[in-house]
Structure 1
Amino acid sequence: MRFLWLSLWCYVWGLGLVLRAQPEPLRLQTGTGLVRVANEALLLVDTTNTLSLEDVRSPQYQRYFAPVGSKGLNFGFTKHSYWLRLDIENLSPSLTGWLLWVEYPVIDEIQYYYEAPDAYGKQRWYQLTLGDHYAFDTRPIRDRFFVIPLNFHNRAPHTFYIRFRTSSSSQFPAYISTEATYYQKRQVREIVYGIFYGIILFAACYHLFLFIGLRDLEYLYFTLAFLFFEIYLASANGHTFQYFWPHSPWLANVAIPLTAGQWVLWATIFTHHFLSLHQYRWWLRWIAYVFMALGLGISVGGLFLPYGMVVSFAASLGLVFIAWLIVAGAFVWLQGQTSALFFIGSWIAHLTGTLFFVMRNLGFLIDGFWVAHGVEIGAVLQALLLAIALSDKYSRMRLEKEILEKQNLAQQQHMTERLEQTVALRTAELQQKQRELALQNEELTQQQDQIIAQRNYISKRNQELAEINQQLQQKEIELRQSMHTAIKIQHALLPYPERSQEILDQHFIIYQPKEEVSGDFYWLHQNAEERLLLIADCTGYGVPAAMMSMLGYAIIDKVVLSMGVTNPQQILQRVDQEIGKALKQTQSGDRSTIDAAAVRLATHQSPAADGAIQVEIAVANIYVYHYEAATGRIHLIEGLDEPLGGRADQTPLPLTLQTRTVRPKDTLYLFTNGLPYRRDLDNEPIGIEVVLQILQQIAPLPIDQQPQALRQAIQQLTHNTLLEDDLLVIGWQMI
């Protein structure tokens, strides 16, 4: 008895499964309108992508077929295959004239299976394969959508199987209708698309003509962005595959990511220029650069990377990209650019349409007219608002131009009136002159002798002017000779190279006057006990500074050679006092000064174990730096920030004597302010920090290579801009 009840229960359960998997067939009658396949079909998900028709027809898999559900045939980006089973009974008067059509032109492969008698009357299954991975000619009806005639050979219920798989968003918005219903909807649909493409193309061409006329790149960027966007939508909607490359499935698939990336690229460039992002926050500009790179990457990736990966990334990027455009527009609008408000509205319209499109592709929205055409509707609104934004941006320019033209016209009219008055006045004067000429002709004979006399006088004056000009030329020659002599005298005062080599040994000197003569000089001395180096920068440049340098040179000779002062601190203090005396600065009011530094090296020192010796240094408003070869660091040798001389009182300057420990390969750098005052290409002084960076780079080089390296570094910064002051640089390397 238990076995009987168990068998009865199993029978009822199995019958329930069969009845659930086999609902009532769809009955097509004369009054049947548009039928949504998702409401009538049973669905089987093939996660392995290996099931065949024989597999899904077997009882093992028939029980897995289930109704589609409220979500519809929209699954987002997946890698699965999907099987649909349709049970249809044709009760209409005609067995033909019924179509199954799919409003999604980017499905990779659709396999349609139907059962029909062969030539011998035996029932067998036939297969029709189509998709965007196959040439357009393989479709039974030439349409950008996939249109399949339903095959009925009798009035009995027919079972159809459809398998589809795509690397794009997996969705199957399929419908069943009569041919008349389909072609009527197709006509309306294509008219709508024609209007849309026409509007976008008209906007692009209109702004292209504006670019040609105005030479404003913003119009060109607008044109390129909308042309690529239109090609992208035409590719996504299957129009380019149908009309432009029907024999190239590869190009039909590549065109979508290629044009989508180009749209992102040129839309970003347009935004960057229209909103003038370079005038605002740096992060706005850099985010724009990132989106430009991503747009280019999508275009290139569409050629080499898997289609599904590139398209899913582009779909996700689209929302982020448009959101950033709205944020950037809002930021610029808050900064006072009123045309950005139209820019924001345009991208909000585009974002709304794109949200519908992306959410449909990701499977969150059921397909419908507003969802399917949201991008097109948003694009039309965007084109209109961006055109208004460009018009608003340049309306002020046109208004200013009109005002300027009115002002020019008024000025021109005023000038014309003045010209007419002048012409009338001149005409009256000419008439008067004609009358006067009639009288003057009689006097010409009498005036001829006077004219000849005046001509002789002018000839004499010309001869005198020629003599004066010759004298001026001679004076110029004498002045040049005097300047040349002054240059030779100044160079004769400076230590000659052999003397510099004898005293300083490992060193280099860069001496470059701003004009023919210089106010910068250096002074060397050596005796049995010590070696002295002084560097000086006199007030100004040119001849006055050169005369001051000769005075300074003479004063240093007096202080060191005549007075016997060798302490650097005392040398600078005595030079300060001697300048005041020589120029009578307490009475004359003269404020000429000398920036100077003195270095003393005792020659009979006993070096330490690491070769360290002591040098004494005093500094008065000049640059002195010590490079330590062992550590690679450069130290400033600080001193007094005041120059020598230039004061009404003769109180001693508070100079200090500094003792520095130097080791072999250490280098002392002394230079005047002509080096940090050199101007770069922006007409700004390069500054002491840049000079220190250059010294840090050249200091490890051999001493004989450092001057050339220093000149090259300065050349790269200044490109031979004119000197602002005399230049003197001395590098003294310890041995």
Structure 2
Amino acid sequence: MKQSYFLKLVVFCWLFSISFVIAQTKPYEIPESIEVENISKYFMYYEDASKLMSLKEISKMEAEKWKPITKDDPNLGFKKINLWLKFQLHNKNNKAETFYLEFDYPLLDKVDIFSQNGESSWEKVINTVGDVVPFSRRPFFYRNLVFPLKLEPFETRTFLIKIDSDSSLQFPAYLYSPPRLIKHIAITEILFGFFYGILLIMGIYNLVLFFAVRNNSYLYYVIYIVFYGTVQAALNGHAFQYLWSNATWWGNTVVPMGLCAGGAGAILFMISFLSTEKYLPRFNKVLWSLAALLGMFSLLGLVLPYSISVRIGTIAMLIVGIVELITGVVVWRIGNKSAIYFILSWAFFLIGIMTVALIAAGVVPNHPFLRVSHLIGAMFQVVGLSFALADRVNTIRKERALAQAEALKALEENARIIKEQNEMLERKVAERTHELKQKQEEILAQNEELQQQREEITAQRDFIEVKNKELTELNTHMSQSIQYASHIQKAILPDETIIRNYVDDFFLIYFPKDVVSGDFYWFSKIENHLFFAAVDCTGHGVPGAFMSMIGNTLLNKIINENKIFDPAQVLSALNEGVITSLRQRETGNNDGMDVCLCRIDIKNEEEFELYFAGARRPLYIFKDDTIIELKGSRSHIGGSGLGIMQTPYETYQYSLQKGDVIYLSTDGYTDNPNPDRQKFGTDKLKTLLLLYGKEPMDRQCYFLKEELLMFQKNAPQRDDILVMGIRL
């Protein structure tokens, strides 16, 4: 009977644990009216002790290896691992939204976040961030790590986060709406500003008193405040944000150094303030030795790893707090009555420090209030020690009162400035909201226009079906015309023999999908410049051929006649020329082209200078056994971008040597499918260019054609294909 009861209990516990893990894998359902939510419990985590596992390996790892997070404020303490986090978000809104994920712990060294897109592939949300990465690389000017997470309407998206850190692995995660994030940052920064303001005021105040009365107690107290304030600014992320944004090595060094140096200042302050030489003459020598030892320990941060040196600094600060408290009690019992302020001050501080140390070790939950217990204790300590010092400076009471009044006035002025800044920020947010609403109305108007065009197309289709027989009769005549157009198009394309006169070697892969092509290549030698272009016009066949003739004519006019040589300016002029030629602003026509354009300046027989600009097309360079990809602008040439703010075209400059190879292409090669409808792909093309980059150009041409035919097999060609290779 007892065995049966025990077996049922085991089965129940197992089922409960399984259901708990399953529950943890559910995505967080983002409500329509979300402001802020702690989503830590929706995370799963995996500890990579080898620190060698790749994103691919992690993404394919078995579900049972992931462990659930059971606390709102997770803390794994100090571990030499790569920590992987996994979670899902579901957007319940009927529109695309951007939410912001904040880790409320700024000391993580390196954090990468990946998102799984609709094709089940992983992509980085932002570049690597952390306190060993320059602060300027962060997308937000804020002390904590904040990640923008964009979700489409009703989308469920999976995210992976990799944390590599020598600091304590704490990652309380909060999801914010944009307005709530702005409000959160404003409030927390005001509170931290208040804390730093107190430290600054007390430091300045006691420094003034030191110069006024020449008592070393005030100088030691200022030393302690400076180092302790620096440590707190580093721990809270403000020092990295404002003081040493690019000195990433210093961020992990200053914390243990500041703890030990601040502890030495606190010991010296105690020796002077409590007059230990008078009340405890023998123990006074021990205190001086302890101060000297802490001064030497402060240098350990330069040579020891952070995970070790910060523990030494934390333990040292705990020891200092205990010594200060015990010494204060002993001196008070002997007869120094002013020590009561000293005792109470260090008691508050010690409680705060011990709480933070227990949080860092993972013993105490990482609650938001407990995380700032050391700041609260420090404020009480500063106030208490100030009372203690005030008891000894009755002779300068009036001067101190005046200084406090001025400090209060400065705080009020800071509060007024912050309030004005918040009001200005709210006005800017309202203006931006109004602009977005206007853009939305414009998009709705464009959608109505597209709907009308679809209706017109439907009517035209019906008309075309009626006229089908007539078109059949005209087909023969049109075929003859197209054949003649093909001869015209070939006539305007550059002669390969002329191109070979100016470069070391050259190959061309040019496979029109139809008789005439929407892709064309262009070459011009003008002054000391060689211009090459690979252009993909809208469509293929006859429409594409018409567009190619317009593009060819415009390039000749812009470069050969108007003498515009900067590639970005050429693309801008070409864009305006297409819009004007097709009257796109009046007609709504959206035909255009993607362009890869480069200019090669011959400096001497061995050196060349490359200037490149692209409209949605990259340029590949084979140099030093590597493939370098120069990406073009996302903006199109022609009407597809009308009414939308486009990314400006940019010219990229690159130095090349004799023997380097550049490749220009349209998207036909990489988009060509196989019988399974899989595209050839850009990665495979770059792999082939890297593999055959040293081969003669005719061999490269042969290999590229063979690889494409082997991949395509019996699948029909999808688009015009154009690839040019040029060896300098």
The alignment's TM-score, normalised by the length of structure 1, stands at 0.50
Between Structure 1 and Structure 2, whose CA radius of gyration is higher? 1
